[in-house]
């Protein structure tokens, strides 16, 4: 009976340990404030998402995140994979879902809030999970 209890406790603790290994997204850069932009000057910034494969739907446009206000001239898109990695891919998908580019030419000064969100694939040890990260972009008048 003691052996059965020990086996039960070990099984229960190993199942609960799976939640300890859940996928946690990390971001480069991790800080909340992005480098400042200037009205009328092109802006480009790249954010890498680490911690697992970000879910992407091949052949469909995926919403990378949200920019508020949406009329400030700043947009989001996934980075592109290098040509040598896409060459033999079937089906052909050149998006790097673990990378987001913030780009555009700001049209008015102020504060822009950017939210990047999505989901990460799970595996045998880690369940699938969602992530979300907020950034602030300050746009200066020239």
Residue 8 counted as domain residue? no
Q: Is 12 left (phi over 0), alpha (psi -120 to 50) or beta?
A: alpha
**What is the per-residue pLDDT for 58?**
58
**Partners of 102 in beta bridges:** 45, 76
Rounded Cα distance, 44 and 136, in Å: 14
| Residues spanned by the domain of 53 | 23-140
What is the per-residue pLDDT for 6? 60
For residue 1, tell me if it sits in a domain: no
Cα separation, 26 vs 48, whole angstroms: 8
Tokens of 40: 């009328």
What local confidence, expressed as pLDDT, does residue 62 receive?
Answer: 66
**Residue-level pLDDT, tens digit, the chain, 142 residues:** 667 666 766 655 555 545 555 567 888 888 899 999 999 999 999 999 988 888 876 555 667 889 999 899 999 988 888 877 777 766 667 778 889 999 999 999 999 999 998 888 888 877 888 888 999 999 999 8
Q: Is residue 30 part of a domain?
A: yes
Tell whether 111 is covered by a domain.
yes
- What's the confidence (pLDDT) of residue 135? 95
Number of domains in the chain: 1
CATH number at residue 119: 2.60.40
Structure tokens at 81: 């994979």
Contacts of 53 (CB under 8 A, 6+ apart): 97, 98, 120, 121
CB count within 10 Å of CB 67 equals 21
């Amino acid at each position: 009976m003691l052996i059965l209890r020990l086996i039960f406790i070990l099984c229960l603790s190993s199942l609960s340990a799976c939640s300890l290994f859940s996928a946690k997204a990390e971001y480069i850069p991790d800080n909340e404030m992005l480098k400042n932009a200037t009205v009328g000057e092109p802006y480009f910034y790249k954010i890498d998402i680490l911690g697992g494969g970000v879910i992407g739907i091949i052949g469909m446009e995926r919403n990378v995140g949200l920019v508020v206000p949406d009329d400030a001239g700043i947009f989001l898109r996934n980075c592109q994979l290098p040509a040598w990695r896409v060459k033999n891919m079937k089906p052909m998908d050149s998006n790097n879902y673990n990378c987001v580019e913030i780009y555009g030419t700001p049209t008015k000064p102020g504060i822009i809030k950017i939210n990047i969100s999505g989901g990460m694939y799970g595996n045998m040890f880690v369940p699938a999970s969602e992530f979300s990260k907020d950034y602030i972009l300050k746009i200066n008048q020239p």
